[in-house]
Structure formats: C-alpha cells, structure tokens
Amino acid sequence: MCGIPENLIRALKVAGPDNLTVVSNNCGVDEAGLGVLLFNKQIKKMISSYVGENKEFARQYLNGELEVELLPQGTLAEKLRAGGAGIPAFYTASGVGTYIEHGGMPIKYSGKGDGKVDIESKARPTAEYNGRKYVLEEAITGDYALVKAYKADKKGNLTFRATARNFNPPAATAAKITIAEVEEIVENGELAPDEIHLPGIYVQRVIKGVKYDKTIEKLTLTREKNESDSKPKSADDEKRERIAKRAALEFRDGMYCNLGIGIPTLASNYIPKGVQIELQSENGLLGMGPYPAPGKQDADLINAGKETVTTIPGSSTFDSATSFAMIRGGHVDITILGAMQVSQFGDLANFMIPGKMVKGPGGAIDLTASGSKVVVTMEHVAKGNQHKILPVCNLPLTGAGCVNLIITELAVFEVDKQKGGLTLTEVSKHSSLEEIKEKTGCPFNVASELKVLERE
C-alpha cells in the first residue's frame, strides 16, 4: 500500500476492463489497493512475489479463480528493469535448485477442490559461469504502467518520497505507455536536474491525484516504558526473545544486515554493546531507524514487513531494482529469516504449503542466493510437535544448501555444507540433549565442546 497509484486503480475499477495481467510485487490488501480490482474480478493473472495477508488473493489462487506466477522479488524488479533497458533476458543465481529452476509450481489450480493443477511453471534454462550455476530469466514489458510519484514537472520528470519509490521506476521504464499519478505538478525548472529520480522520457501522461488515503498496513510505534504498560510475558514471548537474543550475537561491527519479519527483526533490539550495524530493507531503505513516536509516522516510510519506521543520519533510499542489486551482488553481509522447514543439508523452505497456504517468496530467494551468511531463527518444532529440521524438506524450497546456522529456543546447529550435515553446538539450559534428539527429525553431530545457549 506504500507508493501505489490509488486514484488510477479506482479509475480502472470504474472503467471496468477485465482479463488483466497485472505485474506488481503484491496485490494490495483485501478490498484496498489492487485488492479493489481483485474483488471486482478484473484480474486474470498476477505476476508477483508476495501474497502476504491478502486473504482474497490466496482464496482466488487456491480455488483456481486466478492465475498466479510467483517470482523472487529481486528477479521481478530486475525483469522490469531489463524490459525497460531493452535486455531480453539475463542470468541470475536466484532460484537455482528451487522450483524456479525445475518448474512445477502451480500457476492455476483446477478449481475442483481436488488440488489438481491446470497450469504449472516451466523449467528455466541454466548455464555455469565461474563454476556457479545460474538460471535464465526473461524480461517483462507491459502495455501500460500505472505508477505513483511525489512530484512531476510538465516534462514528466518524476521525484519520489522515501520508500514509496519501490517498484515504481523500473515499472515505469518497462511499459509502452506510462501514466504517472502524482501529488503535485510543478513548472519545468522547479525540480533541480540532480533531484529527478526518473526522467520524463519514460513518462507519457501525468495526472494529479484527487485525494490520497495512503493506507498504513502495519502502524508500528514506539512508546515510553511505563509500569502500567508492562504485562507478564507469555511462554511464546519468552521463547521468541531467547531466540532473538542469541541471533543478535551473530552481528559484527560494521555489518550490513537484512532481517526478516518477526523474530529476525526482534533481534535488532539486542545488538551487543559496541556493535553498530546497518539495517537494509529490500523495499528500498539502507540505514533503518527505530519505529516512530506516536504522531510521527510517515505512510511513505515503511520497512519490508510493511511496518512504519524512521531513518537515521546517513540513511539512503532507492528503488527495488537497486535494492536487490545490493543483495544479489553480495554487498549484504548477513541475512536472518524464519523457516517452515530446514534440511540437514541447509535447504530452506519458508513460503508456502501447496494447495493450502501461500505467502510467496518475497525477497527470501534472492537473499539466500546472494552468498551472504544465512541464519535461520525459528521454533524447534511446529504445532503437534511436527519436526521442522528434517533430512529433506518436503515443501517447495526457498533456497538449496543456503543455510549456515539454525537457532531455535532449544539449540544452535551449524550446517556443514561440505559434508552435508548438522553439528549441535549449543543447548538451552531449559532443554537437554535427549529432548533435542527427540524433536529433531534428522541425525546430527555433537560438538566436542557443547555450550549452553548464550544470552538466555
């Protein structure tokens, strides 16, 4: 909902075209943003990276009413950028060893409630460069791009605010006709050449939006600590806190870090003294600050989890294609993210249960293929004491052989990628080796010097 062309979406609903193929990182939320067109059954196919909390998006997909092609978020941004640059295809490491390479991901279910698939993704060609495998991705172009900017001059030059830039510039370059919706139109010359983010050569039409709701999906604020606010922590809260505290020990001074939603983000509250890190958010922010104080929230400034955040001195903002160039280029030092399953070989699955639940890969596939250190933080078992650490993942992979370290409330495992196995290095004081063996679904080695889980 950040940086979306609200007025153009509303106008498209009224105009009523249907059978649309829509390329967007996600589809808004239920009955807001692109969700308006989804509810109105105007969309035939979505090319996206993330379903998220949009229940109607998930319902239509799982019931065979909507075609959905799920792509890694960085690949989606780069496919648009390449389309606008006249590059028909490119190779990327994102998705190697997953459904992206091998195909078979459901694009359209039969809709008969039998879980059968009418259309599935195809395998991609691969090639090796410098001993590493890459998959071939084709560029995306469109008939129209509907984008949102902050200001435009009468030549169509655009400027954007904060993280509202996201996918707008690459999308604008990739269309035959780009219509830019803006908050203000100024005379030529009022925007300094150095402050223009997208030149008018890419923009054919400009409109000034009638009104802006600028919906904030997750209003997240700081508040002063007060005794009346303090509540006893639940067992789940204490568990999550233990995992986050241990994950924070992986931070090193000067690191550039990308933290996933939930426990990984919580880890930033426990950065060791004397350690300074830079938080990178893949929606276009480097140098992420804390949550804003009440009344100081900015709808144009959110993190990848859709939460309101702030900047700090030295922060920078950019579009999504630039953000994922940082990630794929290996400039981010560490990634911490959650998981549904991890294998003893370091394979990771964390974005869908076919036919039942789908969140979408978002930026995780790009992050786990970047060559940075990958740390998984998760509860040791799922509901019903189902194993989450397994010999082989049985859910679609986010990344193959990508995980370096697994941190749970019970233990820490290192992944030996050469030998393909796990080594238990730390055990919680609240647990025992016998419990860990019982709750881990694969064999593992035990370190010669087994430590107590640090910072409990």
Q: Which of 250, 282, 409, 414 is catalytic?
A: 282
Q: Which residue has the tokens 């109607």?
A: 56
Give CA–CA dist 429/414, Å, rounded: 19
| Packed helices 73-85 and 320-328: angle between N→C axes, nearest 10 degrees | 110
The DSSP-derived string for 62-98 is HTTSSEEEE--HHHHHHHHHHHHHT--EEEESTTTTS
In angstroms, rounded to a whole number, what is the distance separating the alpha carbons of residues 321 and 170? 7
d(CA 240, CA 422): 22
- Exposed/middle/buried for 441, CB within 10 Å: 0-12, 13-18, 19+? middle
Classify 245 as helix, strand or coil. Answer: helix
Residues 6+ apart with CB under 8 A from 398: 98, 348, 349, 350, 351, 361, 364, 365, 368
Say whether 390 sits in a helix, a strand or coil. Answer: strand
113: CB partners within 8 A, 6+ apart = none
Q: What is the DSSP letter of 308?
A: B
- Residue 266, C-beta contacts closer than 8 angstroms, at least 6 positions apart: 240, 241, 244
Buried b (16+ CB within 10 A) or exposed e, 354-378: beeebbbbbbbbbbbbbebbbbbbb
Provide the 8-state DSSP code for 163: G
Instruction: Check if 454 is active-site.
Output: no
The number of angstroms, rounded, from the C-alpha of 236 to the middle of its chain's C-alpha atoms is 24
Which residues are known catalytic residues?
282
